[in-house]
């Protein structure tokens, strides 16, 4: 059945995740196979209906694998598994065909050029079949063709000019196929109703043109639903609207040479609206500092291979409040101490600092932030000139071992020390370094002295508290003050 009206839609669906039901994509004539007529009897007059069927050829072919066509007066032909071209070329009733229905099309492609040769006066065309994947050519000029119905196939691409030569086209039904993207079709006729529901729309592609006024002929566009992994279940128009807004935001003078994308549409708690998650890529753009402007809801920022020296904006600029993943690889950053005890460090998800100029970090501040942050994902710290100071390296090593699953490149992190023999830098993996590798004798002695002093102080504190406890007990039991107190003037 060639559709001339859009299907009813649920008023609650435009912003929901419910997949819309594709209605009326099945072609009614393809839902059943006519049974062959009874054999004619010599003693009875053959009914006119049977005679009509017999004139078509052997209808029993409909149950086999070969193409078979049935002509129904006054002008409809239904073909199964292809077209019996010989019967059309032989003339007769098949030349009267105005409505052609092709069921179970057996080939991967359909060539519309055969229509001008076999059915030049065709007015309605319908094709279905899960084998069909493409149109071999654009439709030729068919001056009477008003309706084209290609539904329930695996058609995944149509050219912009595929239907341009159809001067009288009124309805184009492409529901229930596997189209992933389309550009606005070109039509010669003044008004064409296009139906596209139920295709596998890939909303990572650019279909922002659907938002424009001239796309009104795409009648069921509010019901189109994304099927790709990133936007699955989201309305196509909603995804395109967010992409349009982000594209315009990316024209700001601070980031005009960056690229911006909607990386995900998160369903809000109320279940009827979405929150976009935006990725901004400013890598290799020659930035000397973090841009002062970012589109709202930017969650991922790529700033690799620039000339950044500071991360101050993460703590002072409100545009960075929603940034969770930031990639600062191969810049000139020497320190991230300014992030200590900041809200950003307590809420980040990915922090990548590979290939910068850092030689120390405040290990305790980063560790405390990781422990306070339930959403932390990964930290990258390799290819920095970490200094193998005796105390820092040991603390850094403990941190890496404790959080090895979070510091994704911990096995590749090295530190260096100056070799006393030749004055050259010597690099060692932080995870395997030992005090003997990096601590000099004087540092050993200093460390041993402080360790001994700490033990002495700890022992004295224990003795003092023990003496106080004893004196308190003695006073409560005997009512006498300690001997030392009694001797004091």
pLDDT given at position 33:
60
Residue appearing with tokens 């389309």: 182
pLDDT given at position 241:
92
CA nearest neighbour of 258 among 277, 288, 286: 286
Burial group, residue 62, by CB count within 10 angstroms (0-12, 13-18, 19+): buried
pLDDT given at position 14:
36
**Mean pLDDT within 222-240:** 90
pLDDT tens-digit map of 134-152: 999 999 999 999 999 999 9
Using DSSP, state whether 94 is helix, strand or coil.
helix
**Strand (E) or helix (H) holding 321:** none
pLDDT at 53 exceeding the cut of 50: no
Chain CA centroid to CA 416, Å? 41
Question: Domains of the chain by range and CATH?
Answer: 65-200 (3.80.10.10), 282-462 (3.80.10.10)
pLDDT at 372 exceeding the cut of 70: yes
pLDDT given at position 6:
34
Residue 289 token pair:
């500092």
Mean residue pLDDT of the chain comes to: 83
* Distance in angstroms (rounded) separating the CA atoms of residues 228 and 24: 24
Looking only at Cα atoms, what is the longest distance across the chain?
Answer: 150
CA nearest neighbour of 103 among 173, 175, 31, 157: 31
Using DSSP, state whether 135 is helix, strand or coil.
strand
Q: How many CB atoms lie within 10 A of CB 361?
A: 21
* Distance in angstroms (rounded) separating the CA atoms of residues 175 and 194: 9
Residue 351 token pair:
């922090």
**Mean pLDDT within 68-89:** 90
pLDDT given at position 109:
95
pLDDT given at position 2:
33
Which of residues 171 and 476 earns the better pLDDT score?
171
- Among 102-111, 370-379, 434-443, the least confident range: 434-443
- Among 4-8, 214-218, 259-263, 454-458, the least confident range: 4-8
At 92, is the pLDDT very low, low, confident or very high (cuts 50, 70, 90)? confident
At 63, is the pLDDT very low, low, confident or very high (cuts 50, 70, 90)? low
pLDDT tens-digit map of 8-23: 333 333 333 334 344 4
- Among 33-47, 228-242, 345-359, 362-376, the least confident range: 33-47
At 102, is the pLDDT very low, low, confident or very high (cuts 50, 70, 90)? very high
* 8 A C-beta contact, residue 50 and residue 37: yes
pLDDT given at position 421:
72
At 37, is the pLDDT very low, low, confident or very high (cuts 50, 70, 90)? very low
- Among 254-258, 267-271, 380-384, the least confident range: 267-271
**Mean pLDDT within 217-228:** 91
**Mean pLDDT within 253-269:** 89
pLDDT given at position 36:
46
CA angle 456, 462, 463 (to 5 degrees): 90
pLDDT given at position 265:
86
pLDDT at 113 exceeding the cut of 60: yes
* Distance in angstroms (rounded) separating the CA atoms of residues 179 and 258: 30
CA nearest neighbour of 197 among 220, 170, 166: 220
pLDDT given at position 289:
95
Which of residues 41 and 118 earns the better pLDDT score?
118
- Among 18-32, 406-420, 452-466, the least confident range: 18-32
Percent of the chain with pLDDT over 90: 54
pLDDT tens-digit map of 396-450: 999 999 999 999 999 999 999 887 777 788 889 999 988 887 886 555 555 566 6
Chain CA centroid to CA 77, Å? 45
**Mean pLDDT within 42-48:** 37
pLDDT at 212 exceeding the cut of 90: no
pLDDT given at position 448:
62
pLDDT at 295 exceeding the cut of 90: yes
pTM (predicted TM-score): 0.70
Q: How many CB atoms lie within 10 A of CB 197?
A: 25
* Distance in angstroms (rounded) separating the CA atoms of residues 111 and 100: 14
pLDDT tens-digit map of 426-437: 889 999 988 887
**Mean pLDDT within 58-77:** 76
Residue 432 token pair:
């395997």
Q: How many CB atoms lie within 10 A of CB 209?
A: 13
pLDDT tens-digit map of 177-204: 999 998 999 998 878 999 999 999 999 9
pLDDT at 373 exceeding the cut of 80: yes
What radius of gyration, in Å, describes the C-alpha atoms of the chain? 39
């Amino acid at each position: 059945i060639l559709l001339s009206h859009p299907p009813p839609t649920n008023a609650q669906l435009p912003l929901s995740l419910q997949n819309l039901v594709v209605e009326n994509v099945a072609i009614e004539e393809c839902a059943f196979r006519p049974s062959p007529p009874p054999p004619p009897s010599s003693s009875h007059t053959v009914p006119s209906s049977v005679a009509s069927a017999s004139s078509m050829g052997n209808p029993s072919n409909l149950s086999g694998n070969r193409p078979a066509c049935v002509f129904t007066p006054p002008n409809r032909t239904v073909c199964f598994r292809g077209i019996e071209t010989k019967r059309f070329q032989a003339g007769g009733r098949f030349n009267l065909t105005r409505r052609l229905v092709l069921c179970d099309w057996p080939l991967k492609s359909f060539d519309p050029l055969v229509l001008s040769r076999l059915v030049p006066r065709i007015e309605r065309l319908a094709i279905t079949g899960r084998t069909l994947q493409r149109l071999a050519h654009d439709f030729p000029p068919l001056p009477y063709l008003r309706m084209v119905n290609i539904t329930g196939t695996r058609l995944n691409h149509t050219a912009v000019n595929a239907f341009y030569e159809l001067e009288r086209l009124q309805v184009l039904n492409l529901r229930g196929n596997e189209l992933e993207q389309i550009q606005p079709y070109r039509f010669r006729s003044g008004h064409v109703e296009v139906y596209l529901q139920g295709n596998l729309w890939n909303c990572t592609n650019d279909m922002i043109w659907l938002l424009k006024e001239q796309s009104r002929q795409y009648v069921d566009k509010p019901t189109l639903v994304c099927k790709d992994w990133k936007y699955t279940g989201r309305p196509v128009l909603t995804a395109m609207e967010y992409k349009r807004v982000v594209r315009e935001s990316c024209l700001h003078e601070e980031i005009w040479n960056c690229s911006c994308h909607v990386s995900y549409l998160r369903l809000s708690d109320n279940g009827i609206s979405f929150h976009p998650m935006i990725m901004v890529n400013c890598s290799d753009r020659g930035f000397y500092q973090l841009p002062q402007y970012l589109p709202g809801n930017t969650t991922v920022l790529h700033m690799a291979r620039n000339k950044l020296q500071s991360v101050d904006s993460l703590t002072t600029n409100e545009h960075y409040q929603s940034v969770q993943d930031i990639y600062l690889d191969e810049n000139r950053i020497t320190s991230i101490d300014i992030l200590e005890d900041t809200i950003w460090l307590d809420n980040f998800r990915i922090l990548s600092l590979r290939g910068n100029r850092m030689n120390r970090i405040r290990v305790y501040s980063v560790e405390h932030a990781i422990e306070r942050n339930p959403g932390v994902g990964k930290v990258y710290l390799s290819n920095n000139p970490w200094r193998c100071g005796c105390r820092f390296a040991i603390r850094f090593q403990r941190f890496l071992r404790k959080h090895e699953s979070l510091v994704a490149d911990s096995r590749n992190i090295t530190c260096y020390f100056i070799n006393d023999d030749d004055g050259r830098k010597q690099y060692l993996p932080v995870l395997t370094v030992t005090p003997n590798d990096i601590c000099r004798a004087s540092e050993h002695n200093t460390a041993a002295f402080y360790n001994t002093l700490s033990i002495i102080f700890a022992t004295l504190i224990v003795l003092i508290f023990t003496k106080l406890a004893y004196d308190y007990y003695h006073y409560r039991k005997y009512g006498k003050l300690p001997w030392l107190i009694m001797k004091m003037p």
